[in-house]
Amino acid sequence: MNFPQTRMRRLRKTEAMRSLVRETHLRPEALIYPLFICPGEGVRKPIRSMPGVFNLSVDEALKEAELAASLGVGGLLLFGLPAEKDELGTGAWAEDGIPQTALRAIKRQSSLKSLVTIADVCLCEYTSHGHCGVVQRDGDHYHIDNDPSVALLAKTAVSLAEAGADIVAPSDMMDGRIAAMREAMDEARLQDTPIMSYAAKFASAFYGPFREAADSAPQFGDRRSYQMDGANMREAMREIDQDIAEGADMLLMKPAMPYLDVIRAARERYDLPMGAYQVSGEYSMMHAAFERGWLEPERTMMESLLGIRRAGADFIVTYFALEAAKVLA
C-alpha cells in the first residue's frame, strides 16, 4: 500500500496539538488603539463610515483609555480635531491644543500608566486646506512646500512630546522631517522621546474613512506628491533607509493588508522595532461585510491581525484593538 509518508494532518488533530505548534501569536500589549479627540465635554460622536469608532472629548477619551488599559492594550495613538483650522495648521502645536490637553490628562492618571501614548504628528487635521504641509499657490497651481512644512512639523513634535507623548509618530511624509524633529526635540531637552516614523506610507484609498473621522480630507488635489506610489517596493526601502539615517527609533508601515509584502521585506532588512497600521478602510470594509453577515466578525478580525504579525510587524495599530484584546483575554 502506498500511503503518504508525511502526514501534515497529524499535528492538526486537536486544538491542544495545534496550539503546541503555533508559530505566530497575538498579544494585547502589541496592539495600539487610535483615538480621535475633539473639543467639548461628554462628546461621543459616532463616525458614520467606521462603526464602533467615535470622536471623543477628553473626558470620554479618558474612559476609553481606562477600558484599553484594563484589557491590557499596549498603547494609544492620538489624533486631534481642533475647533478651528487655519492655513498653516497652528492648532497642531498649540500648548492648549487638543491632543496636548488629552496627553496631559492621560499622564495625570496613574491607572493609565500601562499605556504607551503615541502622538500622530501631522498638519492635515489642523489646516483649512487639509494638506499635510504648507501650501504655496500660484494661480491655478499649487504645491506643498517641503522645508517650511518640516519646520512646523518639528515644532508640533516638540509640543506633543512636551505635553507627555511617550512617542511621536510623524505621518506627513515630508523629506527631512525625522532629522528636523530629532534636532528640535534634542534642543528642547526631549532627547529621550523616541520617534516612530511612518517611514513607508502609501497614498491609499484605504484612508477614506479616516478622513471623515479626522475631518482631514484635502480640499483640493490629493496627497500623491508626498505619500508614496503603491507600486513601489524599492522606493519604500529607500524611505526607510533615509528615516533610519535621520534618527528614527521605530518604523510604522501603512496601510497593512494591501502592503504585507512591503512589511515582510522591511522585516528582513531592518532590525528596528516595526509596527503596521491596519488603517480605517481595512477596518470599515471588514465591518461592512460583518454587518451583511458575509464574514464572521471574530475570526475575520483575528485572522487579519495574525496575517500582519506573520508578515513581520512587531505591533499593530488597529481600530479592533479593544475587540481583539477581549478575544485574547
Please state the residue numbers annotated as binding site.
Answer: 122, 124, 132, 211, 223, 239, 280, 319
Q: Which is nearer to ligand PBG, 31 or 113 (CB)?
A: 31
Rounded CA separation 51/26 (Å): 23
Q: Which of 171, 284, 304, 318 binds ligand PBG (CB under 6 A)?
A: 171
Which among 284, 272, 216, 220 is positioned nearest to 245, based on CA atoms? 272
- Note whether 132 binds ligand PBG by CB under 6 A: yes
Which among 150, 181, 180, 151 is positioned nearest to 165, based on CA atoms? 181
**Beta carbons of 148 and 134 less than 8 angstroms apart:** yes
Q: Which is nearer to ligand PBG, 70 or 128 (CB)?
A: 128
Q: Which is nearer to ligand PBG, 270 or 277 (CB)?
A: 277
Taking the complex as a whole, how short is the minimal distance between the CB of residue 211 and ligand PBG, in angstroms?
6
The secondary structure of the chain, three-state, reads CCCCCCCHHHHHCCHHHHHHCCCCCCCHHHEEEEEEEECCCCCEEECCCCCCCEEEEHHHHHHHHHHHHHCCCCEEEEEECCCCCECCCHHHHCCCCHHHHHHHHHHHCHHHCCCEEEEEECCCCCECCCCCCEEEEECCEEEEEHHHHHHHHHHHHHHHHHCCCCEEEECCCCCCHHHHHHHHHHHCCCCCCCEEEEEEEECCHHHHHHHHHCCCCCCCCCCCCCCECCCCHHHHHHHHHHHHHHCCCEEEEECCHHHHHHHHHHHHHCCCCEEEEECHHHHHHHHHHHHCCCCCHHHHHHHHHHHHHHHCCCEEEECCHHHHHHHHC
Taking the complex as a whole, how short is the minimal distance between the CB of residue 124 and ligand PBG, in angstroms?
5
Span interacting with ligand PBG, options 61-69, 81-89, 119-127, 245-253, rule CB under 6 A: 119-127
Known catalytic residue at 254: yes
- Note whether 279 binds ligand PBG by CB under 6 A: yes
Judging by DSSP bridges, how do beta strands 54-57 and 44-46 pair with one another? antiparallel
Taking the complex as a whole, how short is the minimal distance between the CB of residue 95 and ligand PBG, in angstroms?
21
Which member of 45, 63, 107, 201 is catalytic? 201
Binding mask 253-272 for ligand PBG (x = CB under 6 A): --------------------
Rounded CA separation 273/251 (Å): 6
- In the region spanning residues 192 to 221, those forming contacts with ligand PBG, defined by CB under 6 A, are 207, 210-211
Which among 209, 306, 204, 212 is positioned nearest to 253, based on CA atoms? 204
Taking the complex as a whole, how short is the minimal distance between the CB of residue 323 and ligand PBG, in angstroms?
16
Q: Which residue of this chain has its Cβ atom nearest to ligand PBG in the complex?
A: 210
Known catalytic residue at 107: no
Q: Which is nearer to ligand PBG, 35 or 105 (CB)?
A: 35
Q: Which of 120, 162, 239, 246 binds ligand PBG (CB under 6 A)?
A: 120
Binding mask 80-109 for ligand PBG (x = CB under 6 A): ------------------------------
Taking the complex as a whole, how short is the minimal distance between the CB of residue 213 and ligand PBG, in angstroms?
7
Taking the complex as a whole, how short is the minimal distance between the CB of residue 66 and ligand PBG, in angstroms?
23
- Note whether 280 binds ligand PBG by CB under 6 A: yes
Binding mask 221-240 for ligand PBG (x = CB under 6 A): --x-----------------
Q: Which is nearer to ligand PBG, 101 or 216 (CB)?
A: 216
- Note whether 122 binds ligand PBG by CB under 6 A: yes
- So which residues are the catalytic ones? 201, 254
Binding site residues, ligand PBG, CB under 6 A: 120, 122, 124, 132, 171, 207, 210-211, 223, 279-280
